[in-house]
Structure 1
């Protein structure tokens, strides 16, 4: 199967009148070797149905089809969504029946056509990569393996451990859903247009939620409050959530967490224990 190179990428862009925009985070991979490296790093199973967000002109889509997978591609740009099936029909006609294209915003989709995706491999738009990732993890529990390309700094934040300077809200929220680790680094030169930032791949393997009896919304409310002002001790940072610093102190002690600690020292299980002390109404 012929994958897309730099010349064909530009030809396709001209055909649809595309001028890549920062608003939609449009940077297209044009190196076939990188595409194959990404797919190998995803460690997909033969029967995986792969969700791809932001397929763009089809570089990664063709690679996933080449590897034998069914692909559901979600594309926000209507012109690109309309062109993708034609590109696959031209370059990989034998695989055209394994592609489904959904025209829409991945931040807002709530359902996908069957068969439901079991894996996700995507070059996510950098400006919305974390919200998109968390939305899809929450919305599609069938997703068990994920490999996404994001801005390198974001990849390090997602994979950061407690105590790290990069550890924060994305780290904890991703850890609620999955085990997260850094994968490959990617040269900015394999994109058109060349982005101003470095890129990296981050791998997520879904695991059971830390606790089934504590709503994720409560845990995430505690996480957001704890990191709203990183310099504050937890008793002060969580004061508004619990109604007062004293109420927060009582709740933290009941959760087995030091009230003078700061959010960046806690793991996801600690945040779950704190959320268990909060009833969602602003009181412990």
Structure 2
């Protein structure tokens, strides 16, 4: 980071110079950066900046940031988490939509191995990422589900360690029959495994969000065949109204009642079984019996 000329009329006071030497995650430093660059966090972009060094280190460690590891970050913001990842030797690609942050990131990431791609994360080609890529990110809450589904489908991504709303983390880790089980739980299980790392209180962010967050790590098993699009659609249909019976959900999708009844009986499932209670293996058998997949 360049230092101001002490002889310049615009040189900061000694207190300000000291503040710029504070850890990037310190609340005072974050406020100073925002003020100096004339910025305010944008709620519509999900901008809540981490200000807890212990949590930053825990995320980077859990995500596997290490020398030479390709890491993808979504929404670097002020570069707080980005810097923690990059200083561990990882090769970081960061996707950022907010062009106002260019001068901030030029300053905070100076000299680090970070490539910033400016644009919408929903427009990025995740399939082009190199094999062994690990996602480590504080995800914007409003597009969490969309991004996770794209990570799952990208063959080069082997894991995603992400900060999400606690409720989303509970859904990701839920098992059939659990209160939080649904389509997100099912597709996470289809692609790999989910581990809850830790919860993160509201006070670890500036500004504080309205909800508690969780750090979740998803590991994707790329030795498995990717689930067919038809099966994913079938699972989504089956769990669309997860409190309803599986039969009713499939009937709402236009499948014939007699065929559904026959498939349920052949799979050893009760006619009134609820969708959320059906293991993925049984859903697969149902899809085969109904001719959705082979």
TM-score (norm 1): 0.86
Task: Output aligned runs, 1:176-191, within 5 Å.
Answer: 176-191=190-205
What's the secondary structure of 1:264's corresponding residue? helix
- Computing the radius of gyration from Cα coordinates, the structure with the larger value is 2
How far off its partner does 1:77 sit? 1.3
Match of 1:29 among 50, 59, 80: 50
Match of 2:139 among 120, 124, 131: 124
How far off its partner does 1:208 sit? 4.3
Residue pair 1:151, 1:200 contacting (<8 A) in 2 also: yes
Q: 1:170 to 1:106 in 2, by over 3 A?
A: same
Task: Output aligned runs, 1:1-284, within 5 Å.
Answer: 2-81=23-102, 83-89=104-110, 93=111, 95=112, 98-111=113-126, 115=130, 118-138=133-153, 140-208=154-222, 215=228, 217-255=229-267, 257-278=269-290
Q: What is the CA–CA distance in structure 2 between the aligned matches of 1:114 and 1:148, rounded to whole Å?
A: 18
TM-score (norm 2): 0.83
Q: What is the CA–CA distance in structure 1 between the aligned matches of 2:215 and 2:249, rounded to whole Å?
A: 33
4+ residue segments displaced more than 6 Å = none
What's the secondary structure of 1:163's corresponding residue? coil
Deviations 1:225-249 (A, max 9, x none): 2222233221121113352222222
How far off its partner does 1:254 sit? 4.5
Structure 1 unmatched runs, 5+: none
Structure 2 unmatched runs, 5+: 1-20
What's the secondary structure of 2:286's corresponding residue? helix
Residue pair 1:218, 1:278 contacting (<8 A) in 2 also: no
Residue pair 1:75, 1:104 contacting (<8 A) in 2 also: yes
Q: What is the CA–CA distance in structure 1 between the aligned matches of 2:117 and 2:127, rounded to whole Å?
A: 8
Over the aligned positions, Cα root-mean-square deviation in angstroms equals: 2.6
Q: What is the CA–CA distance in structure 2 between the aligned matches of 1:233 and 1:69, rounded to whole Å?
A: 47
Q: What is the number of residues matched between the two proteins?
A: 273
- Higher mean alpha-carbon deviation, 243-252 vs 181-190, is at 243-252
Q: 1:114 to 1:167 in 2, by over 3 A?
A: closer
